[in-house]
Chains A and B, each alone.
Chain A
Amino acid sequence: MSDVTIMEATSSRAVSEPLVERSELPHTRIEPSKGWISLGLKDLWQYRELLFFLTWRDIKVRYKQTALGAAWAIIQPLFTMLVFTLFFGRLAKVPSDGIPYPLFSYTALLPWQLFAYALTESSNSVVANERLITKVYFPRLVVPLASILAGLVDFVIAFTLVVGMMVWYGIRPTWAILTLPFFVVFAMATALGVGLWLSALNVQYRDVRYTLNFIVQFWLFASPVAYSSTLVPARWRPFYGLNPMAGVIEGFRWALLGKAQAPGAMLWVSVVVVALVLVGGLYYYRRMEKTFADVV
């Protein structure tokens, strides 16, 4: 039988030794990482099937053992819309850019719910998948990504209602609807950017779990869901774009209903903000992920 060779502790000798590699086998070097590390996107690509399966798992399990099942995906935005319509639309008479208020708020609730769900799930994802992380290796980015992608199903289900509402109110989509996918991706990118920061922080500081609800609520009122961004003086609107969801929601309304103005400077500010948050989040997450298994 083959025997184990005792390696000498002096590594210099061993390293200089020639290695006969078995032709095509991948070589991995396991060592302490230092400084800035690459994003590991290649590794992520190799594990794309895991991303698919984790997303699929989250979707499949989401409405197990519920009486109403996937109907929840419509019920939540629908009832929020009804409440908003009653209080903001009817009683407070919040202007809605000439769009029927129910449609006005529901089109905003769509990306909002997608974002809120993705943000909550991704922030909790690393802690929730603790067992996986402490037992198996895979690119850790898969975890928040999968939880965000799973939110798309709810979005698609809820989207069917907006189609019905547009028919009801007789609103025809314009060419702008072609930009809709961009705004969907943009909403998810925003959630991912913030979610990466929060999920990595959550590993160390469980305070994140408790602040998350507050953040989401606060953010909802800071975003033009129940009201229009035209309430903000035009001068200040680009600054309003510092809240990326303002850009997302106004863009979404514009793309879908075509009636409001195309979001200009505000959107570009949002794009820049998201890009910064996302890239920063990616690097921060990658930096922190090596400690996940030890700390989580």
Chain B
Amino acid sequence: MTDVAIRCEGLAKQYRIGERESYKTIRDVITDAFVSPFRHFRSALRHSRNSSSAEKPNIWALNDVSFEIKPGEVVGIIGRNGAGKSTLLKILSRITEPTRGHADVWGRIGSLLEVGTGFHPELTGRDNIFLNGAILGMRRAEVARKFDEIVAFAEVEKFIDTPVKRYSSGMYVRLAFAVAAHMETEILLVDEVLAVGDAQFQKKCFEKFRQISTGGRAIVFVSHNMSAMRAVCQNGIVLDRGGMVTLGEINEVVDGYLARLNQQSPTIEPAETESFILEEVLITSSEGPVIKTFDDVEIRVTATAKTDIADPGMYVGVLTMEGQRVAGLDFKDFQTISPVRAGESVAIGFRISEFPILPGIYELELHLKDMGHHKIEFVPRRTSFEVVESPIYGGRKIDSWYGQIGLRARAFAESPFLVRAQNDESQAR
């Protein structure tokens, strides 16, 4: 072991439930003062000293977390909401104190828990760069030296003397990120800031991170965007309900985490229609434990016939959680199935190549059919599944503007100017 940037040992943070947001008023305190002597008296009588602390439910937002990060290492912290990711960053950035344990940090810490912290809307871009720099702990001279670089990175040269309240949200975020990205601290803590800006800017941020880490600085990175995690981090830490679950190479950690997420949402739900008992509906990817956009996907339905089915059929629809139909497949368009006797079980389904559905939670709608008896039976329960990440659009966060379908596209730009230039060339020839 040569050197360490951050070392945490048994870090734990306890919050009283509802401690945040609920500040007391003097009245509460006075009431408490009148009530609690009796409470103490009562509890003393019962020999249960702990009862007063037991009355206030505590939660451990972080519990016994230990790890070590080396200089030049980029570590991603993964976990669901409330897993303790932000609490960990807050402790490391000294915003809040741990309840137990300690962390040793070698070097200055820069934290980027929220872009634009301390930006004042009335001040100009120029003023805010200096103000924000000072808030982040940069020296004035340091900011001045990097000023042009920051402005260029944020691409706001023209508006640098305009109050930031007149900025578009994109410009605002770019400027804020640019200041923070130019901090020269040995350690950088980043919380979910890459979910901002356009694809071009995100790419720039990734590159900046890589540049920072190759410069021997350590980065701790929190995001829900797994593609970003894979792109930026080398190692990952999974937190679950405050505790540390895994720690290791980023791709393994992300795969494991996503697989566990998927297990937690069961795809098997027993259901029954007039003529079938539905045993299983599975949607799996041939590429791994989770479904990603453009994976080859298999939808497999296992059902047992309750009566003789003369001409069995099936329809599968893919619906958004709002019930909007994204796609549908009808078995009869592909092939026919031989009759099924009562009590017989069949497994039918579809193999779909390059499943183009974008990340999100979807539902499978099933109709089981007996065309011989002109019966279409709706399966009363839908099966939900999640597409967890997409390799397209620069791996950025997919929002509603992208719809549900991933398009394999290539961008191009032409101007009449370019065309004319080409024409001139051909004429000259």
A57 surroundings in chain B (CB, below 8 A): 120, 123, 127, 131
CB contact under 8 A between A28 and B105, given known A294-B20, A294-B96: yes
Measured in the bound complex, the distance between the Cα atoms of B133 and A52 in whole Å is 12
Which A248-296 residues have a C-beta within 8 angstroms of B? 290, 293-296
Do A135 and B134 touch (CB < 8 A)? no
B96 surroundings in chain A (CB, below 8 A): 290, 293-294
Measured in the bound complex, the distance between the Cα atoms of B30 and A205 in whole Å is 12
Stretch at the interface among B50-58, B86-94, B371-379: B86-94
Measured in the bound complex, the distance between the Cα atoms of B113 and A52 in whole Å is 23
Do A8 and B66 touch (CB < 8 A)? yes
CB contact under 8 A between A6 and B67, given known A136-B95, A137-B93: yes
Do A4 and B118 touch (CB < 8 A)? no
B140 surroundings in chain A (CB, below 8 A): 49
In the complex, whether B247 has a CB less than 8 A from a CB of chain A is yes
CB contact under 8 A between A2 and B72, given known A9-B66, A25-B106, A138-B137: yes
B102 surroundings in chain A (CB, below 8 A): 29-32
In the complex, whether B136 has a CB less than 8 A from a CB of chain A is yes
Do B104 and A28 touch (CB < 8 A)? yes
Measured in the bound complex, the distance between the Cα atoms of B108 and A3 in whole Å is 22
Q: Which of A4, A27, A30, A60 contacts B237 (CB 8 A)?
A: A4
CB contact under 8 A between A27 and B105, given known A4-B247, A60-B123: yes
How many residues of A are counted as interface, with CB atoms below 8 angstroms from the partner's CB atoms? 55
Measured in the bound complex, the distance between the Cα atoms of B103 and A29 in whole Å is 6
A-B interface contact total, Cβ < 8 Å: 170
Contact indicator per residue, chain A 26-43, by CB within 8 Å of chain B (1) or not (0): 111111110000000000
Measured in the bound complex, the distance between the Cα atoms of B96 and A290 in whole Å is 6
Contact indicator per residue, chain B 106-128, by CB within 8 Å of chain A (1) or not (0): 11110101100110101100010
Do A136 and B3 touch (CB < 8 A)? no
In the complex, whether B404 has a CB less than 8 A from a CB of chain A is no
Do A135 and B117 touch (CB < 8 A)? yes
Q: Which of B20, B26, B101, B135 contacts A132 (CB 8 A)?
A: B135
Which B128-174 residues have a C-beta within 8 angstroms of A? 130-131, 134-137, 139-140
CB contact under 8 A between A136 and B120, given known A7-B7, A295-B23: no
Stretch at the interface among A16-24, A89-97, A171-179: A16-24
Do A137 and B94 touch (CB < 8 A)? yes
CB contact under 8 A between A26 and B137, given known A21-B3, A53-B131: no
CB nearest neighbor in A for B131 = A53
CB contact under 8 A between A4 and B69, given known A30-B98, A32-B100, A136-B111: yes
Measured in the bound complex, the distance between the Cα atoms of B127 and A61 in whole Å is 11
CB contact under 8 A between A295 and B19, given known A33-B97, A138-B135, A205-B26: yes
Q: Which of B120, B127, B134 contacts A50 (CB 8 A)?
A: B134
In the complex, whether B47 has a CB less than 8 A from a CB of chain A is no
**Ranked 8 nearest A-B pairs via Cβ:** A31-B102, A53-B134, A7-B66, A137-B94, A30-B103, A135-B117, A293-B96, A207-B26
27 pairs of residues in contact across A and B, judged by CB atoms under 8 Å: A2-B70, A4-B75, A4-B248, A6-B66, A7-B66, A27-B104, A28-B104, A29-B102, A30-B97, A32-B98, A52-B134, A54-B134, A57-B127, A60-B122, A61-B120, A132-B117, A135-B95, A135-B111, A135-B113, A137-B94, A137-B95, A203-B23, A205-B24, A206-B25, A290-B96, A293-B95, A295-B23
* Chain A residues within CB distance 8 Å of chain B: 1-9, 11, 14, 17, 19-22, 25-33, 47, 49-50, 52-54, 56-57, 60-61, 64-65, 131-138, 203-207, 290, 293-296
* Chain B residues within CB distance 8 Å of chain A: 1-4, 7-10, 15, 19-20, 23-27, 29, 64, 66-73, 75, 90-109, 111, 113-114, 117-118, 120, 122-123, 127, 130-131, 134-137, 139-140, 186, 234-235, 237, 247-249
Given contacts A4-B247, A49-B140, A294-B19, 12 further A-B contacts (CB under 8 A): A1-B235, A4-B75, A7-B66, A19-B4, A22-B3, A25-B186, A29-B103, A32-B97, A56-B131, A57-B123, A57-B127, A137-B111
